[in-house]
Each structure stands twice: as C-alpha cells, then as structure tokens.
C-alpha cells in the first residue's frame, strides 16, 4: 500500500525521441517553474547515488538556476505531514497514511522538507499539495492568473502520477505545460515512458533539459554567473562523489578502495578520529561546510557524499 522502493533505471533509455502533437515554445515572460514534490520523503525511495534520481537532481538544479536568473518564479509543491483522514481521504486506500511529522530530535534531514540540493530561494513560492495534481486545493492557478502566466515548466517526481495529473489538469485550465523529461523521475523506466507518451499526445509538451535551457535566456549580465554556478555544482559533485571519497579514505587508511564498501561503517573499517579530522580539513578546503559530529553520526561513504555535496557552497562564484 505504501510507495515501494524504486530500482535504478537509465534516464537516457527512458527519454528516447518523442513527437509532440503541439509546437509550443517556452516564453519566460509567461512561464512558471513547478518543482514537483521534491521532498526528502519521496526522493528517499530512490538510491540517491544512482540513476535516475542522481541525474534528475542535478538537472533540476540547472533548470532552477537558469529559470530564476531569467526572472521565472519557481513554485515548489510539498505534501503536509499527519494528514487527517478527511484530508487524506482516498489517498490512504492507495498509498497509506502518508508523511509523518519530523522528529525534531533527529539529525536526519526532515522528511517533509525539500531536499537540500534544491532548497527554495527567497524569491520562490511553496504551496501545500493535497492531491496528485498541483492545481487541486492550491492557489497555483489563481497566482498564475493574477501574474499573467499561462505556461508551466515542470520537473520533479513522480512522472506518471502527480506530474501527469498536473499536466492534464493544466490543459483543461488552458495552461500550457512543459515536462522536462530528463529532470523528472518515476517508479520505473516503463512508467516514465508511458507518462511521456501520454502527455506528448494528449495534454502537454515533453522536451529535454537542453531545449528548455535554450528557451530560457537570462539577461546578458547574468549568463556568466549562471555558467559559473553550474560549473561549480558539477565540480563539487565530482569532488564529493562516493568514488572520490572512497579513494581518499582508502589512502588515509593505507588500504585499497575495494577493501570496503560505500555502505560500510567506516569506524569498523579502521577510520579513527585523527584521520577523520585530517580528511575533514581537506573537504572544508574544497568547500564543504560540515563539522566532526555531522560526519561521526553517519560514518559511511554514501552518507558523507550526500552530506558534503549538500553543504558545499557553489554560490561563492556569484560575488563577482
């Protein structure tokens, strides 16, 4: 009844060439960016170190940065925790009780929160979402009408459920919806393809990130800043990738990287506090903003990769 664990699948294979019935083009003056349900609760059904979600998170970052620098407002949807039976209604029959309230004593990321990599900026909006469609029981349509917007650019999860439903309802409200196919993830490659096919043929336009970025042209003054920020994000992802961290830790322990797994408890492998402090200094110099306790609480390569990447500060390139 609950959402199942989601197996890895290849995003490129899911995004084979597709023919849209419409020839709509994104117009930044008419468009709103919808970041759909990218809460820790929903993203954590994937392995964040694997495709498709690893690629989707990066592509969403790029899309959000480019959009905001072009003056396009980003709207985030997020489901609330501890919904009453009346509010949850038939969703319970299909998916169970939904999100629970976050444990404020825990150091884990809040399940209800937007993932750190896509944290909303000060100019972004966030609407509470109650049903599959982002239009149901939210102020999204009214806000768009009030601000003369009639295009919705969509990224996030899950393609065949909330994203498809939002596109279909957008169509019935005379709002052009653009799904960025490689900035969305689904339960499986087959369901990802099914959602793309239905949307392209019935209610919206399905396009790759590259086409969306070509349509979203920031001002000349901001172009270099966007490129620098995207490059900084990519560089930090490489610096704090699981493979790179595993090599660094193995070197500190004077063992081979294959001698332990990325999911192993590093304290059991032989990493002590002295070596950890030395590694922490290296990672801080590379841009991470974490402390010893953060790392000691979750001593695995996979956890550290996520933590270090999320804490890094690519925004330093924006000071020019």
d(CA 43, CA 40): 5
Nearest alpha-carbon partner for 69 in 184, 189, 229, 183? 229
Dihedral-angle region of residue 262 (phi above 0 means left; psi in -120 to 50 means alpha; beta otherwise):
alpha
Nearest alpha-carbon partner for 139 in 66, 185, 75, 223? 75
Q: Catalytic amino acids?
A: 36-37, 129
Nearest alpha-carbon partner for 59 in 199, 225, 224, 207? 207
d(CA 205, CA 168): 11
The 10 Å Cβ neighbour count of residue 202 is: 12
Q: What is the DSSP string of 69-105?
A: HTTPPEEEEEPPSS--HHHHTTHHHHHTT-PPPP-TT
d(CA 223, CA 147): 25
């Amino acid at each position: 009844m609950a959402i199942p664990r989601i197996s890895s699948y290849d995003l490129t294979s899911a995004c084979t060439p597709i023919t849209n019935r419409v020839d709509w083009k994104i117009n930044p003056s008419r468009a709103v960016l919808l970041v759909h349900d990218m809460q820790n609760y929903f993203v954590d059904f994937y392995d964040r170190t694997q495709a498709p979600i690893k690629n989707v998170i990066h592509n969403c970052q790029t899309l959000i940065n480019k959009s905001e620098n072009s003056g396009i407002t980003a709207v985030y949807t997020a489901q609330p925790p501890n919904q009453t039976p009346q509010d949850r209604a038939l969703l319970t029959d299909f998916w169970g009780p939904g999100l629970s309230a976050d444990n404020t004593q825990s150091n884990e990321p809040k399940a209800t929160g937007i993932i750190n990599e896509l944290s909303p900026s000060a100019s972004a909006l966030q609407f509470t979402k109650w049903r599959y469609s982002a239009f149901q029981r939210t102020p999204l349509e009214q806000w768009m009408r009030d601000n003369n917007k009639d295009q919705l650019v969509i990224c996030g999860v899950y393609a065949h459920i909330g994203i498809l439903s939002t596109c279909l309802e957008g169509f019935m409200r005379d709002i052009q919806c653009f799904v960025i196919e490689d900035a969305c993830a689904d339960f499986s490659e087959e369901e990802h393809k099914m959602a793309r096919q239905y949307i392209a043929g019935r209610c919206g336009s399905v396009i790759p990130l590259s086409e969306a970025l070509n349509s979203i042209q920031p001002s000349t003054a901001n172009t270099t800043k966007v490129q620098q920020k995207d490059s900084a994000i990519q560089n930090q992802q490489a610096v704090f990738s699981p493979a790179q961290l595993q090599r660094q830790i193995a070197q500190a322990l004077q063992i081979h990287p294959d001698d332990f797994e990325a999911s192993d408890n590093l304290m059991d492998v032989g990493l002590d506090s002295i070596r950890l402090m030395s590694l922490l200094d290296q990672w801080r110099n590379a841009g991470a903003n974490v402390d010893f306790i953060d790392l000691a609480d979750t001593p695995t390569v996979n956890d550290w990769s996520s933590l270090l990447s999320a804490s890094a500060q690519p925004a330093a390139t924006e000071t020019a």
